[in-house]
Structure 1
């Protein structure tokens, strides 16, 4: 069966729709055939059982009547009219003596020679065949005071067999119709089943030809294939956003790298033309080139760190004491800003452990503190405090600087984004710091968010889960 199915399935065009059509059709046809076979045998057995019950009823009535009359062998022939009343169409009734000799015979279109007479000591029921005729034979002993013999009743199940044959014919014709309806229904069902997949496939082809903006039309349903279409649209949204971010990143990175390279190239050309013998021009060009090389190195290092943070190549180590880790990190960061005043409060997070690499905690704090100092051109007062919130811990860095406009807040974590590009460029910013901090915090299942008001200051909050949670 399985070999026939594999042979029937088209090899080069074995689409899911055709496979579903064939399998559903086979399932429905098999169920219909099994049901009809069971139904045929059940009905056929019921019909024969009814014939048996009718024969048993007639046999019992004849036995009781003859026993009550206490018939003798000589009187048997006198009961022909009585036996005729019990005899039905295609039936024969005989009364035999102990030797099997027929004493009385009543028949209706059933030849006597089809069944050999036979005396019995107990009631028996026999299914027999005379060529194509199905016979049901019942023999029962007849015992009275003056007689001992056998009542023999034979029924030709011709009408029952005709009914069974007609039933079989109807089932066969119904089976042929069921095959057609099964194939048609399976085709319709399979088309409905694979419609979202077909639509998705067509959308993929359009995406391949025209771009990532195409989406699958999702029907207002709640099944697995519809959920698959919705998931496909969500993935395409994320993929399109990822491509847009990659494109923007390449453009921004190219722009950021092009500027120092152009400056270095300009000073090298200047030295080639007439600066090699002018000490002032030589020193100025070397100083500028060294600064731009440092800037290039910073950008490249931050891009590598950002790539590592986004790719997830961070080994989760054992939990560390957050207060000690933050204080150690701040001790190194504070040294880089001797002109700023720091107000540090870590007593509220004493004894709290967090799973984070110490160097990453220091990197996050350095970025936040650097930004706080850069955005505080006048009042360089920086407050760093730790707060416990349920199963999480907060590290807040607050300044009293220039603040961030509300329209810029949604974009401050984008790569190379600057609120004040001219001012930050003068201070050496690359626009990658907050992007790196956000990726690092997210890799440790944390959150980072900013609350800022123009000319009042900015508070950056880092929320990390404790090791207990």
Structure 2
């Protein structure tokens, strides 16, 4: 309807404006044509004005003052007296004294109404030795006005027909163009976004509407994938929370039973505290990943050297590595600096070292290394464990994805460590990757940062 109203107003304004301009041009053209004819007629009549004397003689060419050519004429003597006139005008002067005085100075045109009829007049002076004579020739504008009136009626009819026909065309065209949009709207209204097969029917027109339909379908696919991931995330998070909660509940129930010794109560409290810490870490990790999904800024980078941060991360797990008889080594030149958030980078390193310690057998080694390569900075945690299964590598950074039991030597971990590493890397505008060392010499996980 808005398109129709806009077209109706615009076409009406344009058509009426064009009609007015055309009518004005036609009127000007007809008047110009008449003025040309009157000028020629005045030139003919000027020939009868004598070079000397005051007598006019039209006996040789009496038709010059007749009205056979649909024109009329009057001749004024230098004294201002009307000396000759066509029968159509009679003896009534067509010019008054002021107009006659003006005509004696220069030729000009006038429009005059006489006996209810609109006349076009040309008055021009004719210089003779006896003085300035004045010739007035004229003709009726009624034929021109009748023609203009007919043209006006025809234009109004044409404009009305054009506007009506164009309105019908715009209505049909707009309806045809927007009908696929309405079909897609109705389909979207009845659609359930949980249905993985839900898609809009896209018209095969290869135009903007078809591209809009494809865009909506792509958006729908992303929404469905996001909902699938969300449902999976919630289900797996609930599953991971269930185990420590069950253990915590069991320990508290055992501690509440009568007859428990002091040592047994202390052990139950220690186990409950450990499960509480595990729950706290899991909750923190889930919150961190949720903030990452929401686009919350996770890092506040600042230019810092990498070696001290890597050394502190290794120092934090040294006792645990000693208990497992695993060697730790830091390989980070002092000159390497990067724009990093030390707390977030430390969080990622803690997860990588925790995974490496659980995967490395006694007597193995873990290397934490920082180096430059191809304009980037690589932070690597390399272990001497069995490495990743090839089938695990493509999904290594997915949430709640655990490595096989041959690599994970205990039951700890919720499968969020590598997902957090990737989120930290992306928060620094970098990336993360996992791979195996050549010749089954263990696994390596890299955090790749821009220089």
* TM class by smaller structure: 0.7 to 0.9
Aligned to 2:2: 19
Work out whether 1:353 is the aligned partner of 2:338. yes
Aligned to 2:71: 91
Match of 1:55 among 38, 52, 55: 38
Aligned pair count? 440
Aligned to 2:27: 44
Cα pair distance change 1:423/1:461, threshold 3 Å: closer
For structure 2, list consecutive stretches of 5 or more residues without a partner in the other structure.
none
Aligned to 1:395: 379
Other structure's SS at 2:56 match: helix
Other structure's SS at 1:428 match: coil
Cα pair distance change 1:27/1:213, threshold 3 Å: farther
Cα pair distance change 1:57/1:424, threshold 3 Å: farther
Cα pair distance change 1:133/1:216, threshold 3 Å: farther
Cα pair distance change 1:129/1:401, threshold 3 Å: farther
Q: Decide which structure has greater helix share.
A: 1
Other structure's SS at 1:207 match: coil
Aligned to 1:103: 83
Cα pair distance change 1:326/1:209, threshold 3 Å: closer
Aligned to 1:77: 58
In 1, Cα distance between equivalents of 2:93 and 2:160: 40
Aligned to 2:147: 163
Cα pair distance change 1:343/1:315, threshold 3 Å: closer
CA contact (8 A) 1:100 1:117 kept: no
Cα pair distance change 1:215/1:123, threshold 3 Å: same
TM-score by length of 1: 0.81
CA contact (8 A) 2:300 2:341 kept: yes
Aligned to 1:9: none
In 2, Cα distance between equivalents of 1:460 and 1:327: 17
Aligned to 1:139: 123
Cα pair distance change 1:36/1:284, threshold 3 Å: same
Which moved further from structure 2: 214-223 or 370-379? 214-223
Shift of the alpha carbon at 1:52?
Answer: 1.5
Aligned to 1:465: 450
Cα pair distance change 1:265/1:97, threshold 3 Å: same
CA contact (8 A) 2:8 2:167 kept: yes
In 2, Cα distance between equivalents of 1:364 and 1:268: 33
Match of 2:258 among 273, 276, 291: 276
Shift of the alpha carbon at 1:440?
Answer: 1.8
CA contact (8 A) 1:333 1:365 kept: no
Shift of the alpha carbon at 1:139?
Answer: 0.6
Deviation string for 1:115-159 (max 9, x for gaps)? Answer: 634543121211223476332111111222346421111111122
In 1, Cα distance between equivalents of 2:64 and 2:39: 15
Shift of the alpha carbon at 1:200?
Answer: 4.4
CA contact (8 A) 1:372 1:382 kept: yes
In 1, Cα distance between equivalents of 2:193 and 2:421: 38
Shift of the alpha carbon at 1:212?
Answer: 6.6
For structure 1, list consecutive stretches of 5 or more residues without a partner in the other structure.
1-17
Match of 1:172 among 148, 156, 174: 156
Work out whether 1:340 is the aligned partner of 2:326. yes
Deviation string for 1:53-104 (max 9, x for gaps)? Answer: 22223323543x346x63643234335435158x664321222223444333
TM-score by length of 2: 0.84
Shift of the alpha carbon at 1:239?
Answer: 1.9
In 2, Cα distance between equivalents of 1:422 and 1:300: 27
Cα pair distance change 1:265/1:232, threshold 3 Å: same
In 2, Cα distance between equivalents of 1:211 and 1:25: 44
**Aligned-residue CA RMSD (Å):** 3.3
Shift of the alpha carbon at 1:370?
Answer: 2.0
Cα pair distance change 1:140/1:450, threshold 3 Å: same
CA contact (8 A) 1:77 1:104 kept: no
Kindly report which structure 2 residues correspond to 1:37-436, keeping only aligned pairs within 5 A, or say none: 37-63=20-46, 65-66=47-48, 70=51, 72-78=53-59, 80-81=61-62, 83=64, 89-106=69-86, 110-112=88-90, 116-118=94-96, 119=100, 120-121=103-104, 122-130=106-114, 133-146=117-130, 148-191=132-175, 194-195=178-179, 197-208=181-192, 211=195, 213-219=197-203, 227-269=211-253, 275-279=257-261, 286=269, 288-311=271-294, 312-314=296-298, 316-334=300-318, 336-338=320-322, 339-347=325-333, 350-354=335-339, 356-377=340-361, 380-420=364-404, 424=408, 426-436=410-420
CA contact (8 A) 2:65 2:85 kept: no
Cα pair distance change 1:301/1:394, threshold 3 Å: same
Shift of the alpha carbon at 1:297?
Answer: 2.3
Deviation string for 1:247-294 (max 9, x for gaps)? Answer: 11110011111122223334555566xx53254876765555444333
Which moved further from structure 2: 129-138 or 21-30? 129-138
